[in-house]
Structure formats: structure tokens, C-alpha cells
Amino acid sequence: MTNAFSRAETLFREHQGLLRTSQALQLGIAPRTLYTMRDAGTLIEVSRGLYRLADLPPLSQPDLVTVALKIPRGVICLISALAYHDLTTQIPHAVYLALPRDAEKPRLDYPPIRLFWFSGQAFASGVEKHKLDGVTVKIYSPEKTVADCFKYRNKIGFNVALEALKRCREHDRCSLQRLLHFSRICRVEKVMHPYLEALQ
């Protein structure tokens, strides 16, 4: 059993210490080895079906990393993306996640997620890839996130969208051209325009 343990531990370390059950099985780690390592305290079950080596330092963004690993098609959006880019004073109590219209509704025990269904260019454009704790996490760019906030202002609050725009334009943190570009993609150009002009 020790050989299976050390082999499994090596495979975990080669994957930043994090593996989904399906990945572990593909790599040849037996379910019994996984559960024994978990029961022995070598592994922590971060979320259902997602394991991490217990001796690693805590994740800096555990919720975003968990969601990125469990729902690879999703893109971090709206208030979660604002918080990541430091464009809001809001604290997200769930991970705000965009999914394409044809995606199945994901099942996730933890962390709590709030889903938004985007289509076409509104889903595909403005996606940035950030490395968090060795994991690639897809997050909308600051400008795309601000446009999305105006689009979903009735769901997240107009004040949130306005604060994000102000913070985005402070010290030229966001490009005006890109803000206009994404306002067109999200079809909120007319709504955003007067506020953009006021901030010139």
C-alpha cells in the first residue's frame, strides 16, 4: 500500500497538489488509495470529488480554484470578477459564474455558485486566463466585467455597476476603447454612454 501511496502523492504534486477524482482515476490512482489517503489525513476533500494534498499552504483563492477545476467551461463574472480586479467594495457570497447557453447546469456542493447564461460573443469575448495557486482560472477582463454589470444591473444592482465603472476609470485602470467595445457586445452602449461621458 505504501508504494501506491507514494506514487499517488507524486502524481498529486505533479498537478499542483490538486486532482479531481476522474483525473486521479485516469492517472491510475485506485479509488481505495484516494479514500485511504483522505482518511489518513494526507488528502483533504476540498469539494465533492476534488482532492488536495493536506501539507500544502492554504489556497489563496480556494473558491475560484475549486469552481475552475469542477466547472472548466465556466468563466468567473460579475461581482466575483469585480472583486478579483478590485473594482468593487462588495463581498461576493457566492462565485458568480458565466456559462454558455448550451451548457448543462452544474452540480456543486461547495462553494455556492450563482449562474448566468451568456450567449455567443457575450460569452466568448473578454476572457482572461489567470494562474491562481497553479490552476488556470478564466475571468472576464475588467472592461468586459463592467459592461456585463450594466447588462445585469437589474440582478446585481445599478449602484454596483456604477461603482465598478468609476473605479475602472480611476487612474486609467481601464481602456475607454475597450469599455466601448464591450458595451456594444453586451448591447448596453446607450445605457453606459452618459456615465462614460460624465467620467471624462
Residue 58 maps to a domain: no
Q: Which pLDDT tens digits describe the chain residue by residue (200 residues)?
A: 578 888 888 888 888 788 888 888 898 888 888 888 888 888 888 777 888 888 888 777 888 988 998 888 999 999 999 999 999 998 888 999 999 998 888 888 788 899 999 988 999 999 999 998 888 899 999 999 999 999 999 999 999 999 999 998 886 778 888 989 999 999 999 998 888 777 66
Q: What burial class does residue 175 get, using C-beta atoms within 10 Å of its C-beta: 0-12 exposed, 13-18 middle, 19+ buried? A: middle
The identity of residue 172, as a single letter, is: D
Please give the grid coordinates belonging to residue 41: 489525513
The verdict on 45 and 12 lying in the same domain is yes
The verdict on 37 and 88 lying in the same domain is no
pTM score, whole prediction: 0.79
The verdict on 11 and 85 lying in the same domain is no
The verdict on 9 and 100 lying in the same domain is no
The verdict on 109 and 170 lying in the same domain is yes
Structural domain count of the chain? 2
The verdict on 102 and 30 lying in the same domain is no
The verdict on 174 and 89 lying in the same domain is yes
Per the CB < 8 A criterion, the answer to whether 51 and 11 are in contact is no
Quick one: DSSP state of residue 108?
-
How far, rounded to the nearest angstrom, does the alpha carbon of residue 61 sit from its chain's CA centroid? 9
Give me the domain span that covers residue 127.
72-198
Q: How far apart are CA 115 and CA 103, in angstroms?
A: 11
Nearest to 6 by CA among 47, 59, 53, 44: 53
The verdict on 88 and 173 lying in the same domain is yes
33-67 burial, b if ≥16 CB within 10 A, otherwise e? bbebbeeeebbeebbebbbbbeeeeebebbbbbbb
Tell me the backbone φ, ψ of residue 146, rounded to 5 degrees.
Answer: -60, -45
The verdict on 112 and 140 lying in the same domain is yes
Residue 66 maps to a domain: no
